[in-house]
Amino acid sequence: MAADPSPAAPRAKWSARAQAAGIAALGVFVFVRASRFTDFWSDPGSPGVFPALVAAVLLACAVSIWRQERSADEPAEPVTGWALLYAALIIGYGALLRPLGFVRSSLVFLLVSFLWLRAMPWWKSLLVAAVATGVTFAVFRYLFVVILP
Amino acid sequence: MLGEFLSPLNVALSALGVAAGILVGATPGLSVTMAVALLASMTYSWDTKTALALMLGVYAGGVYGGSRSSILINIPGTPSALATTFDGHPMAMRGEAGLAIGVATVQSVVGGFIGLLALILAAPPISELALKFAPRDYFLLAAMGLSLTGRLAGGSMAKSMVGAAVGVLVGLIGMDPITGEGRFTFGQPVLINGVHFIAAVIGLFGASEVIYQIGRIVRSGVPQARIAEVGGVLPGFRYFFKYLPVTIRASVIGVIVGALPGAGGDIAALLAYADAKRTVKKPSRPFGQGAVEGVVAPETANNACIGGDMIPMLTLGIPGDAVTAVLISVLFIHGLRPGPLLMVEQRDLFWFIAGSYGLANIFLFFFGLMAVRPFVKVVNINKKILMPLIVLISVVGTYAIQNNIYDVFWMIGFGVLGYFMKLGGYPVGPMVLGVILGPLADINFRRAMLAVQGNVPLFFWELVSHPISLVLTVILLSAFAPSLSIGGIVNLVRRRRIRREVA
């Protein structure tokens, strides 16, 4: 590892290739789907023609991304485990909306977020979570006339 | 009727919108697009005009507000304020933060009014012309918008195009409007109505940003930015006349870039900055070290761009940028079809939008010069508290669109997708435009094909034999020619002028 002057470079290259492969796969998939729409092979006005054009653009982009080195101006942000965990927390929030209802799931989500991020002491977290949920509920219920589940 | 934008409710909402917009724009991580999309969902039950008054205020305030954090903490609050960091922050470091804010305010208002003037002058004739547009012309315009987002978004063109293409595919999900068959629905009845545009925007601009920011905060702790001292704000209007040439050039760039479908304020500001750098022979200080011209040019251009962006939105129903894409869907939600007929049949709506936007600019002037110091505190709010609250509002706001829990799931899905796109350097802005422009391009392409009864050579012949189509075709092709990007055109014009001066 120490002999390699820039250990990030080959990783960036393989990352770009993986992205290119994913985009190409999407392009092929879209084309295959589009080719099955009504009259694709006989009518230039078929619902599949424009999606097929988009698939061609995706394939062209995949070629271009495969060949390009990661340019200097791009932020080389690594995936962070914390971000993924937080994404999972948001997904959990969405999943709890129906079983728990809006008020309870929002309270839980905010409280877990604040405590996990160590944003505030626990009593303050509880207070902010309760007030924010209450205000949001009231504003949507009365100002924007939305009935929340 | 004509003075409807002056009703007390609309005036109050306009003021509220501008104030909220400045806060949103100045807070890095909160984008104008997200704010307007959230408002679009919340104001579903409101009167169209009342909702528009609020959203136009947020639009104007937000584009301006980005300059605040650019100047004070060297972080652009919105993408369109990126160019303002180049000289705005150096000014603040020299103890001229007040002057920089004052100049940014005056220039934003001036740019805003020039953009408004362009809108008022250009929109009626363009809408008259647009009545003669055939489906193939709309196809060309939509294709132009899609290719320009790729061409101009900065960074990798291929990656922007991927974003736009994925957006197009998302836009095409659902029942095909001509044959009635499901496209990309995979037999799922939930997908037959497609993905709600506003839900996608809230996910791409709201939830994804939250995930991204949380990743950074936890890794590096809360970055407490060093805030520059703010001196006197009153700008000294002498600067206004001194920098009038820069102002005019920047306004023209802003309006033109805005009027192009698909290109918005971020590009306008960067182009205007580059233009000022090349044309101003003796700046107040070298560019990059606190030149006042370096604040004047981008701040004029990004607000002038708003008026420009609204020209294709109101006359053709084609978005000039991501925010106008949201505004178009707002009009649709309220049962209106933005396009040339709307301009003819609902002239009062056009004048309401123009008047309301003018009013927002007046509020912008006063709010911009008021309460700078307490304001700084708000912008520096703890992200660990703010980000979870954004998720809450995004979830509730998305649900509010049509009381549909699936929209919330989509929003979260797009949030996660947007996060990975950001990591890979794929901009989400082109994707939003793709969702709107894709179906437009598709339906008009097929109407054009129906019009020529599937005769492809005849279709291409019509592209070059009708004057309107020919002009649009040439513009579209020039967007693909590598040497003829906007920057290339600017360069060409300049070279010719230099040659003329030399001769």
Chain A CB contacts of B181 under 8 Å are 37-38, 47
pLDDT digit string (tens) for B285-312? 888 888 888 899 999 999 999 999 999 9
User: Cβ B442–A43 below 8 Å, yes or no?
Assistant: no
Residue B85 neighbours by CB distance under 10 Å: 22
Band of the pLDDT at B120, cuts 50, 70, 90?
A: very high
Angstrom distance (rounded) from CA A32 to CA A34: 6
Dihedral over Cα of B4, B300, B92, B427: its sign: positive
Length of chain A measured in residues: 149
Residue with tokens 């991927």: B162
* CB proximity under 8 Å: A 11-40 to B: 15, 19, 23, 26, 30, 33, 37-38
Helix and strand counts by DSSP (H, E) for chain A: 5, 0
Say how far apart CA B477 and CA A55 lie, in whole Å. 20
- In this prediction, residue B225 carries a pLDDT of 54
A149, pLDDT greater than 70: no
User: Helical H runs in B334-455?
Assistant: 340-345, 347-369, 372-379, 383-402, 405-424, 429-451
Q: What percent of chain A has pLDDT over 70?
A: 80
- Average pLDDT of chain B to the nearest whole number: 82
- The minimum CA-CA distance between B45 and chain A, rounded to whole Å, is 7
Those residues whose C-beta lies under 8 Å from the C-beta of residue B198, and which sit 6 or more positions away, are B37, B40, B41, B326, B329, B333, B398, B401
More confident residue, B146 or B497: B146
Residues of chain A neighbouring B388 (CB-CB closer than 8 A) = 109-110, 113-114, 117, 119
Q: Return the percentage of chain B with pLDDT > 70, whole number.
A: 87
Mean pLDDT, range B227-235, rounded to an integer: 60
Regarding predicted confidence, which is higher, A4 or B208? B208
Asked if B320 and B264 touch (Cβ cutoff 8 Å), the reply is yes
A97-106, B74-83, B369-378: the lowest-pLDDT one: B369-378
Pick from A58, A80, A94: which is nearest to B162 by CB?
A58
Instruction: Identify the closest residue of chain A to B454 by CA–CA distance.
Output: A44
**Does residue A8 carry a pLDDT above 90?**
no
Closest CA to A146 of B407, B196, B409, B42: B42
Residue B149 has pLDDT above 90, yes or no: no
Per-residue confidence at B154, pLDDT binned at 50, 70, 90? Answer: low
Q: What is the mean pLDDT of residues B224-242?
A: 62
Cβ within 8 Å, pair A118-B165: no
Out of A77, A136, A144, name the one closest to residue B43 (CB): A144
- Cβ within 8 Å, pair A133-B215: no
E-assigned strand segments in B113-272? 174-175, 182-183
Q: Which two tokens stand for residue B443?
A: 């339906």
Residue range B34-48: average pLDDT?
A: 85
Q: Which residues contact A43 (CB under 8 A, 6 or more apart)?
A: B449, B454
pLDDT (mean) for A46-62: 89
* Residue A56 scores a pLDDT above 50: yes
Among the residues of B173-236, which ranges form H helices? Answer: 197-202, 208-220
**Residue A105 above 50 pLDDT?**
yes
Residue B224 has pLDDT above 60, yes or no: no
Query: pLDDT at residue B218 above 80?
Result: no
Residue A3 has pLDDT above 60, yes or no: no
pLDDT the model gives residue A7: 45
CB within 8 Å: A94 and B393:
no
Using a pLDDT cut of 90, give the percent of chain B over it. 17
State yes or no: pLDDT of B501 exceeds 50: no
Cα–Cα distance measured from residue B59 to residue B65, given in angstroms and rounded to the nearest whole number: 10
pLDDT score at A1: 33
Identify the weakest region by mean pLDDT among B42-56, B60-74, B140-154, B399-413.
Answer: B140-154
Residues B437-490 pLDDT 10s:
888 899 889 888 888 887 888 888 888 888 888 888 888 887 666 544 455 445
Average confidence score pLDDT of chain A: 80
Name the one residue in this structure whose structure tokens are 């009635």.
Answer: B180
Of residues A65, A75, A79, nearest to B159 (C-beta): A65
Greater pLDDT, B69 or A78: B69
Instruction: Report how far residue B223's alpha carbon sits from residue B217's, in angstroms, rounded to the nearest whole number.
Output: 7
**Are A100 and A149 in contact, with CB atoms under 8 Å apart?**
no
Q: What is the pLDDT of residues B317-338, one digit of tens each?
A: 888 888 888 899 888 888 888 8
- The minimal CB distance from B441 to the residues A50, A64, A71 is found for A50
Residue in A15, A19, A93 closest to B391 by CB: A93
**pLDDT for the residue numbered B306:** 93
Residue A14, pLDDT above cutoff 80: no
Mean pLDDT of all residues in B328-356: 87
Angstrom distance (rounded) from CA B428 to CA B205: 8
Angle at B14 between CA B8 and CA B19, to 5 degrees: 130
The nearest alpha carbon in chain B to A48 belongs to B183
A127 or A77: whose pLDDT is higher?
A127
Confidence of residue A6 (pLDDT cuts 50, 70, 90): very low
pTM to 2 decimal places: 0.81
Pick the residue from chain A with its C-alpha nearest to B186: A33
